[in-house]
Structure 1
Amino acid sequence: MVYAAMKSESLTAVARVILAAIGLSGLVLCAAACNLEPDPRGFGTHEQLGLTPCSFYQWTGRTCPSCGATTAWAHVLRGDMAEGLSANLAATLLCLATLIAVPWLLLSACFGRWLWWKPREWDVLLAGSALLVVAILDWLRRILS
């Protein structure tokens, strides 16, 4: 299967740089999340990076759709999936997708060809839309509980 993908058309130099930059960005996000201690509240871990608390939470007393995202990543990267899912379902899925995408993007950039699978524009749109729906539904679940 890898051999068949290796016969596909070559990526341009610009595409290789873009893939490498996206892959390295994901790697940096994972490295940063690995070095954070998950906040026991289930959100607020990002404050260890010097960022301000969630304004939505301060104004309403309720979490926003992205509350718990950094906490979820910190849990997932420690192998604690249950806590990650509890903190933020969409962020947990995004973290898992990032863990898969980083090596794929970096290896594709290195080899100059898409390895295993060449994404189409609709694939990215569909994945992003699905993640958005999950984020909204998870946010509603957290607000209503």
Structure 2
Amino acid sequence: MLVKRGLLRGFSLLVGIVPFALLVTASQLSPSEQGLGTHQQLGLPPCSSRILFGIRCPACGMTTSWAHFTQGHWWQSVQANVGGFLLAMVACWVVLLSAAVFVNPRVDVMRYQKTAAIAAIGIGLITLCDWLFRLYR
């Protein structure tokens, strides 16, 4: 039983580190005034969709959204990319839940499985609708 709890604590630490690292990285970026392109501060290339087709992709503005989110500019985060704002909120939730499991391995994480699935589907649909709206406005 102790080994199982130790494994669960280690796994919760790994699961929590990823979104935490992404949030910390986003907090160090300066959000682009254009609402997208912030990811280029990380040495990444411009969006291929914008280069090849001249349109934004559904993920355009996500890094900018996260940068605004981590700096407390939530309305600007939503304006940059609604899905990015929602993903940043979920990332915070995952960090907190992972910390709770690390502190108390008896926390029943399986009861959050349905909520996580619904959130993932919902964020995907909202991101798609936001993208289509931006394309046709």
TM-score (norm 1): 0.84
Q: What amino acid sits opposite 1:79 in the alignment?
A: G
> Which deviations, in whole Å up to 9, do the C-alpha atoms of 1:29-76 show, x marking residues without a partner?
011000000011101101100111110111111110000000000001
Corresponding position of 1:8 = none
Aligned to 1:6: none
Q: How does 1:42-121 map to 2 (within 5 A)?
A: 42-114=35-107, 118-121=110-113
Q: CA deviation at 1:96?
A: 1.4
Q: How many pairs align?
A: 134
* Unmatched runs of 5 consecutive residues or more in structure 2: none
RMSD over equivalenced CA pairs, Å: 1.7
- Greater shift after overlay, 71-80 or 104-113? 104-113
Tell me the residue number matched to 1:7: none
Identity %: 29
Shift of 1:18: 2.1
Structure with greater helix share of residues = 2
Distance in 2 of aligned mates of 1:122 and 1:14: 23
2:135 aligned with 1:143, yes or no?
yes
Q: 1:24·1:106 contact (CA, 8 Å) conserved in 2?
A: no
Letter in 2 for 1:141: F
Matches within 5 A, 1:122-137: 122-137=114-129
How far 1:118 sits from its partner (Å)? 4.5
Q: Larger deviation: 47-56 or 100-109?
A: 100-109
Shift of 1:120: 4.6
Unaligned runs of 5+ residues in structure 1 are: 1-10
Residue type of the alignment partner of 2:53: T
